[in-house]
Amino acid sequence: MELSEVTISKAIIDDFSKTFLDYTEIDAGIVGAGPSGLVCAAYLARSGAKVAVFERKLSVGGGMWGGGMMYPRIVVQKEALRILDDFNIRYREYVPGYYLANSIEAVGKLAAAAVDSGAEIFNLMSVEDVMIRQDDTITGLVINWTAVEMAGLHVDPLSISSKVVIDATGHDADVCRIVQRKVSAERLNEGRGVVGEKSMWADVGEKVLLSTTKEVYPGLIVAGMAANAVSGGHRMGPIFGGMLLSGELAAKKAKEYLKL
Ligand code: 48F
């Protein structure tokens, strides 16, 4: 059989256009495909929610790929090992209480878990705004191709309706900053707005992450490093147990919000 370039092109355009169209109305829109976003996507999709992850970059995985200073290893604490087990990510005990995993294996398996659970990942798309309706609830995301953003092209975005939004954008807490800019700091994070992350302190940063992972505006849940950035928690470097647990907790809170 002679391969037809046009058939290859049709297959790609046809399938992606249909999927994209289908995902213009979703239950949960997760912004950022770092570790917290991928874990959140996997658990939320497992519970039957229609989940889309919008990722600005070509690759998923956020800051996990690079491990610590480009040494592709991550450290995970005991409390989060059950999540590594759940996604079949291998690890070994380094010294008591510190477990080592390969960051490349971890990203690959988290991404596979999210997709296998039924979440749809849209890479190369940036969230540049949100939709907020009468009762001040977030009702959707405004997206554009990252290439448009990078080239500074004057191209209008498209909008996605989403019953709940999860900001998993990492250190920038992009979605929360958008809400702060477009609404006001007083309405966000119990009147505190985006406080900004504190300097490196792994122990405290990791521990506080489960209290900073929460709904910070009606319809907006914050997860991962973005959660600490919003509430003034410490950064923690290449220890990832908190990111995984935060993603899991964000999924639980989103499920409650969606009444699933
Ligand atoms: O930064 P990132 O990995 O976030 P995370 O899940 O994990 C943080 C850790 O990697 C590390 C750490 C652990 O100690 O501190 O930093 O909290 O992933 C965030 C993803 O969001 C994407 C970004 O490209 C990255 O892949 N992102 C950021 N802003 C946007 C976005 C946006 N406006 N639209 C779409 N994607």
Evaluate: CB of 197 within 6 angstroms of ligand 1: no
Evaluate: CB of 54 within 6 angstroms of ligand 1: yes
Query: What would the DSSP string read from start to end of 125-167?
Result: EEEEEEEEETTTEEEEEEEEEHHHHHHT-----EEEEEEEEEE
Q: What is the mean pLDDT of residues 164-177?
A: 98
Evaluate: CB of 57 within 6 angstroms of ligand 1: yes
- Known binding residues for glycine are 235
pLDDT at residue 118 greater than cutoff 80: yes
CATH hierarchy code of domain 27-67+104-258: 3.50.50.60
Evaluate: CB of 31 within 6 angstroms of ligand 1: yes
Evaluate: CB of 67 within 6 angstroms of ligand 1: no
Evaluate: CB of 228 within 6 angstroms of ligand 1: no
Going by alpha carbons, the residue nearest to atom 11 of ligand 1 is 63
pLDDT band at 134 (very low <50, low <70, confident <90, very high): confident
Half-sphere exposure of 90 (CA within 13 A, CB side): 3
**Global pTM?**
0.98
Q: How far is the CA of 257 from the centre of ligand 1 (A)?
A: 23
Percent of the chain with pLDDT over 70: 100
What's residue 256's pLDDT? Answer: 98
What's residue 228's pLDDT? Answer: 98
Evaluate: CB of 110 within 6 angstroms of ligand 1: no
pLDDT band at 184 (very low <50, low <70, confident <90, very high): confident
pLDDT at residue 103 greater than cutoff 90: yes
pLDDT in tens, 6-49: 999 999 999 999 999 999 999 999 999 999 999 999 999 999 99
Chain centroid offset of residue 74 CA: 18
Q: How far is the CA of 226 from the centre of ligand 1 (A)?
A: 8
Residue to mutate (ligand 1; options 169, 239, 243, 244; most atoms within 8 A of CB): 169
Domain ranges of the chain: 27-67+104-258
Are the CB atoms for 43 and 207 separated by under 8 Å? no
Going by alpha carbons, the residue nearest to atom 16 of ligand 1 is 63
- Known binding residues for Fe cation are 156, 171
Are the CB atoms for 74 and 48 separated by under 8 Å? no
pLDDT at residue 176 greater than cutoff 90: yes
Neighbours of 122 (CB within 10 A): 17
